Structure 1
């Protein structure tokens, strides 16, 4: 017999949610069989059987939160849950013989008056119907003063109404009941709506985005890039690039190289705040934001400065595929130094990206759009332009440094050949 326990999932993850049990009690399992799926803040994990046996018990159900090391079930020895023997056919019940006459005579007789007398409170409260009590409350009438005509002394609705209509003063005319009020229309009628719980990953994303805004002096600066040169390179080289490297030549490799070149020129944008200290990193692990089914994830391209265009494209393609298949490992999500996010794939023309803490910089890409651009004093041309945005932590990055960083990115993108040298 062995317990099914929640495994270690990385130093930053201490709990998860049971997303789905693949097996049920009584099922026979072999070593390596998937038992359940566990949802964590960053990834979904599959927990497998460590030995052959039978699912003896499941102690934590779907939707419950469990801690690392906690037992969620038990695998016992055996070949499966024994089948219960078929139940014997039910015997046909025979009608009970009638009770003797003398036994029937001993049955106590109960009539309405007796029942009421038994149920009447010992405090002497008046027996009244619910409608009578409601009307008495509305009109402020003491039920003990109402005379009921019921044979057992019960006060009814009409008794209360007639009592209220009696004149309390012989010289005063009987009071008339107030006219009924017209029904008031509901000013806020119920409207159809669904209430669904947020997934653990969505809650984590929400908390960290709010935390980033609360803990950083975040500011955003903008610029625009003429994408003519990059589009020309891609048009001329994409077929041979695809044939040689078996991967497409996208925009992300150009932007990753440009960001690395700018980070080398302005190292503070590649830093991190740790208490009263600043950690300036000498390596370049670039996070690439990917939209997955359960929310945004940011897998990391390690040592992007040492990769060529093909290496970057292959790594991004692999990470994006894993993100959409929910198969990213924790190591692929941790430790980035700077992040790039591309809202342009959804049609965004301009945005202010939020920092991916503890990083102090994030670059936002946007939609490429033809816009008229002044080439010189006499010529205007329609050029493929993209707005880019840099959000940064103003606590350690000055405005001039942030603007200069973004200008450097712009210059490298508009002259892609320099990426081979400075990227």
Structure 2
């Protein structure tokens, strides 16, 4: 009995997946727990494994096709080859409902050599060759029918690269590129989501952004004094993300509406602080979630962020690690961005954007001094957050980062 290969439950904010790549072909033997296919979602890649050993009998959803908790393939029982008939040929016969004369013990008219040719050449799909004078099907009889019959039902499969179309579906080979050279590459599901203008969050929310700047002198001096002993004691470097994470938590406690969610006509106020940390990967950004950030030390924050970022770049994050964040921090400064407008990570109502630290002249106590300054941006959903609340929230983040002692006490 065939076993269905289904798109798994993907989580509360992920509604469907796109078939990325089948790692097995029809007819391949599959071990229990072995990965069959990679699925792409808006947020993460998902591996679908075989629930039991068998043979990949049918691929229902090809690469680039979408599915939502649907059957995308089937597994059959048994070994990759049964009764001398290759599994691909048998699967094709079943799907075409045209298998009348399988080359096995049921067709006693075929000689052993003829059975092998019938199986390997997939002639079991269609009419069995007529028997010769001896009353048995021989290889000569097969050759005679091959010369007379129309093209076989089973045709050699072109390479996946050759059959990839602009839409991502398998079909006729794409036209050859001109002499200057072109290449068509299917957008991944994550990149399709990023490319949707002006973005789902911007479409559904009334998104506005407010800006401020932070003097990073105190944090940089503290890191300089403590970085060696911190790393020796905790085995991890002391970065900027732990300071900003603690500052965000402190500001969220002061302005809890930024840690809320709008659901229909209700506001869901959250008393926990799960901070999403945007991580740049090859195909864009993913946002793993740092759980209970208010209960973690600087070392714990740095260690967990490093772990999440590393596994994000290796594609090893789980769906659970990408769900349920209450607020997000993104750092465009690592790429050299001086100022930008971060996009909300729906259904959250606030996101903090960090940027490049750059020495600039500022007026301080009546004098012009050079200080390491960072522009910060807060994008927020104006349906829930007033302008004054957003400004005061960002000022609170600024105050806490510029005064690490207050950060330790209140963050």
TM-score by length of structure 2 reads: 0.73
For 1:410, which of 398, 408, 411 is the aligned residue? 398
Change over 3 Å in CA distance of 1:23–1:244 after alignment to 2: same
Q: Give 3-state SS (helix, strand or coil) of 1:229's partner.
A: helix
State whether residues 41 and 204 of structure 1, in contact with CA within 8 Å, keep that contact through their aligned partners in structure 2: yes
Q: Residue 85 of structure 1 aligns to a residue in which SS? A: helix
- 1:176-325 alignment runs, 5 A limit: 195-207=184-196, 210-325=199-314
Q: What is the 5 A alignment of 1:121-200? A: 195-200=184-189
**Whole-angstrom CA distance in 1 between matches of 2:54 and 2:255:** 59
**CA deviation profile, 1:99-151 (whole Å, cap 9, x unmatched):** xxxxxxxxxxxxxxxxxxxxxxxxxxxxxxxxxxxxxxxxxxxxxxxxxxxxx
What secondary structure is seen at the aligned counterpart in 1 of 2:340?
coil
Shift of 1:79: 4.9
- 2:63 corresponds to which residue? 62
1:382 aligned residue? 370
1:367 lines up with 2:368 in the alignment: no
- Residues 228 and 383 of structure 1 are in contact (CA less than 8 Å); yes or no, is this contact kept in structure 2? yes
Q: CA deviation at 1:51?
A: 1.6
Are the counterparts in 1 of residues 57 and 73 from structure 2 also a CA contact under 8 Å? no
Question: In 2, are the aligned partners of 1:16 and 1:66 still within 8 Å (CA)?
Answer: yes
Q: Spell out, residue by residue over 1:155-192, the C-alpha distance to the aligned partner (whole angstroms, 9 max, x if none).
A: xxxxxxxxxxxxxxxxxxxxxxxxxxxxxxxxxxxx97
Q: Report the counterpart of residue 135 of structure 2 in structure 1.
A: none
Say if 1:54 and 1:226 are closer, same or farther in 2 by CA, change over 3 A.
Answer: same
Q: How many residues align?
A: 326
Report deviation, 1:381: 2.2
The runs of 5 or more residues in structure 2 that have no matched partner are 87-114, 119-138, 145-179
| CA–CA separation in structure 2 for the residues paired with 1:61 and 1:305 | 45
Of 254-263 and 24-33, the range deviating more from structure 2: 24-33
- TM-superposed CA distance for 1:341, in Å, is 0.8
- Shift of residue 302, structure 1, vs aligned partner: 0.8
Determine if the alignment matches structure 1 residue 396 to structure 2 residue 397: no
Give the CA RMSD over aligned residues.
2.5
- Report how far residue 65 of structure 1 moved: 1.9
Structure ID, larger Rg: 1
Aligned match of 1:157 = none
> Any unmatched runs of 5+ in structure 1?
94-190
Q: Match for residue 76 of structure 1?
A: 77
Q: 1:92 to 1:253 in 2, by over 3 A?
A: closer
Write the distance in 2 (CA, Å) between the matches of 1:40 and 1:92: 49
Deviations 1:76-117 (A, max 9, x none): 212536467258479999xxxxxxxxxxxxxxxxxxxxxxxx
What is the rounded CA distance, in whole Å, between the counterparts of 2:307 and 2:81 in structure 1?
Answer: 40
- Report if aligned partners of 2:5, 2:50 keep a CA contact under 8 Å in 1: no
Q: 2:173 maps to what in 1?
A: none
1:179 maps to none
- Distance in 1, Cα, partners of 2:58 & 2:207: 50
User: 2:143 and 2:262 mapped to 1: Cα distance?
Assistant: 81
Is the CA contact (8 Å cut-off) linking 1:260 and 1:305 kept in structure 2? yes
- Provide runs of 4+ in structure 1 moved above 6 Å: 89-93
Q: Aligned partners of 2:194 and 2:60: how far apart in 1?
A: 29
Secondary structure of 1:417's aligned partner: helix
> Among 85, 97, 110, which residue is 2:116 paired with?
85
Paired position in structure 2 for 1:97: none
